[in-house]
């Protein structure tokens, strides 16, 4: 059996911050990909990447785009 030394509170805290940040980044990526996918099904295409999220949000908020009301409410 291998024995592992006890981690200090600082080490545990740093690991906790890292895991929380990793989770938030993963969820953000999932949300952006879902938004791109839903808008793509409606014929609205934007480039990949988090830096292009503003284009996706503008498409949803634009009154002139042909997005059904139910879909627009969901995407908002």
Residue 63 confidence (pLDDT)? 64
Residue 7 confidence (pLDDT)? 92
Mean pLDDT, to the nearest integer, of 63-70? Answer: 75
Q: Enumerate the domain spans of the chain.
A: 12-75
The residue among 49, 48, 40, 51 whose CA lies nearest residue 75 is 40
End-to-end CA distance of the chain: 53
Chain segment 13-66, per-residue pLDDT in tens:
999 999 999 999 999 999 999 988 988 888 888 888 888 888 888 888 876 777
């Amino acid at each position: 059996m291998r024995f592992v030394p006890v981690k200090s509170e600082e080490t545990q805290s740093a690991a906790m911050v890292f895991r929380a940040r990793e989770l938030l980044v993963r969820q953000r990526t999932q949300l952006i990909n879902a938004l791109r996918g839903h808008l793509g099904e409606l014929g609205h295409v934007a480039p990949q990447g988090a830096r292009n999220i503003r284009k996706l949000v503008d498409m949803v908020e634009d009154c002139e785009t042909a997005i059904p009301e139910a879909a627009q409410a969901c995407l908002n």
